[in-house]
Structure 1
Amino acid sequence: MDLNDKNVLLTGGSAGIGREMARQLQAKGARVILTGRDPARLDSMRAEGFEALTADLSNAAGVDALLALLGDRPLDVLINNAGQLVDHDFRKGAPDADAADEGIYANLTAPIRLITALVPRLRGRPQAAIVNVTSGLAIAPAARQPVYCATKAGLRFYTLALREQLKDTSIQVIEALPPVVDTQMNDGNPMKKMPAEECARQIVAAIEQQRDEANIGMTRALRMVESIAPSLARRMTLRF
């Protein structure tokens, strides 16, 4: 896909991987509308020339508000990148059930609702794409992040099924599976982290190259192990 002059909606675009994707997409000539929750970060992105919308995607009202702000603008690419990492570890104490609900909504329900609302608009474009950012942990889970892993695995299987449904349309369905990336979400994670700029570069390249799946960094090795010995892949990640 030639990204020049394409209209892109990028959720979670004010920090981390999303911020780097926004910059790289803009550099390629795309018109990027990004979303986020932090006012200072959104203002910073506006200063770089982006249209930045305030959107809390952890509940239905937030998704509906975003769709209302978007209006009937043309759209060529939807990138579901926003996500929440939920602390849900019984070894540390009783998890917060409300936080789990918000994480499930932000990571899984919100992308589904946005896709449901926007597929008719994307169908009307000669070439369009839906990009769902899942995780290497959608393949094999980490013990300390069960809610995050479950939602990303859910989004992975939703993406696989959606791709089959839309295979005869103008919409390509792409899944991006990052490894551990150097973002605020992973502060305190002792694992080696990929720079956010490089992760974003590989996702943008997957869109340009029209690849169905982008296994990024260490996720490529994990996918290979999982294809040969799923139990070994799980043992590798469950330690974390």
Structure 2
Amino acid sequence: MRIAGKKVLLTGGSAGIGREIARQLRAKGAQVAITGRDKARLDAMRDEGFEAIEADLSNAHGVDALIADLGTREIDILINNAGQGVDHDFRVSLPDPDAVDACIYANLDAPIRLITALVPMLGRRPEAAIVNVTSGLAIAPRAGSPVYCATKAGLRSYTMALRAQLADTNILVVEALPPVVDTQMTARLNGNKMPPQECAAQIVDAIESDSPEANVGQVKLLRWVYSLSPALARRMMLRF
């Protein structure tokens, strides 16, 4: 897919991976509108020249408000990148069910709702793409983040089925599976973390090359292990 001239809606684009995707797409000639919740970060992106839309995608009201704001605007590429984690470890404390609901909505319901609203318009564009950012944890979960892993696994399954449904249309469906990336969400985690710039570059490359799946960084290794032995891959990841 040719990036230059494309009109992009990128959710969760004010920080981390999303911010770097926005910058790299614009450098290739795309017109990028981003969403986010943090006013200061949105203002910073506006200072960089991006259109920045305040939107809380952790509930139906916020998603519907975003869809209403978009109106009939033309979009060529929808990137569902917004997501959030949630503490859900009974070994530590009793989880907060309301926080769990917000995580599930932001990570799974919101992308499905946005796709449902925008597919008719995307289908009228000369070429279009839907990019869903899941995670290597969609392949094999870690014990400490069961809800986050479940939402990403759910979005992975949805993306695979959506790709089959849209196979004979002009809409490319891409799944991006990042490893642990150095972002605010992973600040409490130790170990090696991929720079967000590098992660974004691999995702943008997948869009340009019409790749249905972008296994980023160490996720390539996880996919290889999973292809040999799903049970081994699960045992490896459940230790964390």
Normalized against structure 2, the TM-score is what?
A: 0.99
- The one-letter code matched in structure 2 to 1:45 is M
C-alpha displacement at 1:170, in angstroms?
A: 0.2
Give the corresponding residue for 1:47.
Answer: 47
Offset at 1:191? Answer: 2.4
Alignment correspondent of 1:198: 198
Q: Which SS does the other structure have where 1:235 is aligned?
A: helix
> Identity over aligned residues, as a percent?
70
Provide the secondary structure at the position in 2 that maps to 1:72.
coil
Show the counterpart of 2:14: 14
- Is residue 120 of structure 1 aligned with residue 89 of structure 2? no
TM-score (norm. length: structure 1):
0.99
The CA distance in 1 between the partners of 2:198 and 2:170, in whole Å, is 28
Corresponding residue of 1:140: 140
SS in 2 for 1:176: strand
The Cα offsets for residues 51-78 of structure 1, whole Å up to 9 and x where unpaired, read as 0000000000000111111111101000
Report the alpha carbon displacement of residue 126 of structure 1 after superposing the two structures with TM. Answer: 1.0
Q: Letter of the aligned partner of 1:62 in structure 2?
A: G
- What is residue 211 of structure 1 aligned with on the other side? 211
State the Cα deviation string for residues 148-180 of structure 1 (Å, max 9, x = none): 000000000000000000000000100000000
Give matches, 1:1-240, under 5 Å: 1-240=1-240
Q: Which 5+ residue runs of structure 2 have no aligned equivalent?
A: none
The RMSD of aligned alpha carbons is 0.5
Tell me, what secondary structure is at the counterpart of 2:130? strand
Q: Write the distance in 1 (CA, Å) between the matches of 2:70 and 2:23.
A: 20
C-alpha distance in 1, partners of 2:180/2:169? 33
Encode CA deviations 1:195-221: one digit per residue, 9 max, x unaligned.
000000000000000000000001000
> Per the alignment, in what secondary structure is the counterpart of residue 205 of structure 1?
helix
Take 2:14 and 2:143, find their aligned partners in 1: how far apart are those partners? Answer: 28
Q: Which residue identity does 2:52 align to in structure 1?
A: A
- Structure 1 window deviating more from structure 2 (122-131 vs 66-75): it is 66-75
Distance 2:42 2:75 in 1: 21
